[in-house]
Amino acid sequence: MCTAWVFAIITAAFGPVFASKGALDPDVHTSLEGYKGGVEDLQLVLQLFFAVNFPFYTTFYLCKAALLAVYLQIFPEFMVKRRIFLWVTIVFVVIAYIVTITLIFTICLPLERNWELSVQKSCPGSSYAILFQVGWGLHFLGDLLVFILPWLIVPALNFKRALRLGIYFTFLLGTINIAVCLVRFIAIHQAGEDYSISLSTIILWSSLDVNVGLVIACLPSLRPYFGSRGSSGYPTESTQTKSTTAGRQSEVGVKMHEPRPMGHFEDAPMSAGPSLRDPSLTYTEEIWDEGKKDNASDVELIQMHLPPR
């Protein structure tokens, strides 16, 4: 998650540079028609547009990886089919990222053609269209799979109602990300047809897409309900054993006691510490049963050994 934040900051750092070079002016279209800067500035803008692709898509897939890591913690191991589907999604996300990054660096070679100003030497428009369509399609399908996964397990788990509503709300925020992703596709597709949309609008929707995904990926880190797999609601044999042991320890350690007779301390044997077979623990449990009475005392007497005078 921290790595995703780093790449998101790197991606956001390109915005002020574009603005300083005049690329975000409302009159500048996606074809850079209407750009008022010099030739060197225009070439620098093209280089920056090529360079921003790597942190941009890396942020997308690191956000998916953060959510999938949470799913690995909350999907119980005995849900074999669901975990298989989870691992299939993980493999797909890894392959999608590799394919996207490979396309960025290989769809138009040599790389200098990506920022070449000459029409004959620059990359054809079809290469940019293929890169966008493949990159967006893999990203969108990955978002859908990551969004669907929680609904395979959450309805079957024994969560409290408030907790369940919190989980539903968290993952329903994924619909916002999907909606923004669709709007970004429509805007860029329309811009490629008639060049009527400004470049700043495309950058705005792209920034919203990556930042909304980043916020959603951060939400499970604030969870109290994804903190441990033991809270999944399906008590296994090991969790039942731990629960029973913890329950016994709490019964021994936190109790309301009645005052013991002072003679009890004189007869009590010296020991390094109590054990489960210690008669004093048995006596404590009996007092706990009687502690439910109305005249029970809140004071616990502690055996103390004074140093010899």
pLDDT digits (tens, 9 = 90+) for 5-58: 999 999 999 999 999 999 999 888 887 888 888 889 999 999 999 999 999 999
Report angle CA 286, 291, 293 to the nearest 5 degrees: 125
Who has greater pLDDT, 104 or 257?
104
- Is residue 139 pLDDT above 90, yes or no? yes
Which distant-in-sequence residues (6+ apart) come within 8 Å of 77 by Cβ? 83
Give CA–CA dist 265/2, Å, rounded: 57
pLDDT value at 235 more than 70: no
What is the Cβ-side half-sphere exposure of residue 52, based on CA atoms within 13 angstroms?
21
- Residues of the chain by 3-state class (helix, strand, coil), percent to 5: 70, 0, 30
The confidence score (pLDDT) of residue 132 equals 92
Give just the sign of the alpha carbon dihedral 75, 175, 170, 207.
Answer: positive
> Tell me, what's the pLDDT at 281?
40
What pTM value is reported for the model?
A: 0.70
User: How much is the pLDDT for 307?
Assistant: 60
Distance (Å, rounded) from C-alpha 235 to C-alpha 127?
Answer: 53
Residue 197 has what pLDDT? Answer: 80
Domain boundaries, the chain: 2-230, 237-290
- Residue 248 — pLDDT band, cuts 50, 70, 90? very low
pLDDT for 265: 41
Q: What is the pLDDT of residue 260?
A: 46
Residues 6+ apart with CB under 8 A from 24: 15, 18, 199, 200, 203
The average confidence (pLDDT) of the chain is 76
pLDDT of residue 308: 62
The predicted-structure confidence for 260-269, as pLDDT tens digits, reads as follows: 444 444 444 4
Residues 140-192: tens digit of each pLDDT: 999 999 988 888 887 777 777 776 776 677 777 788 889 999 999 998 888 77
> Is the pLDDT assigned to residue 275 strictly greater than 70?
no
On whether the CB atoms of residues 209 and 184 are closer than 8 A, the answer is: yes
Say what percent of the chain tops pLDDT 70.
68
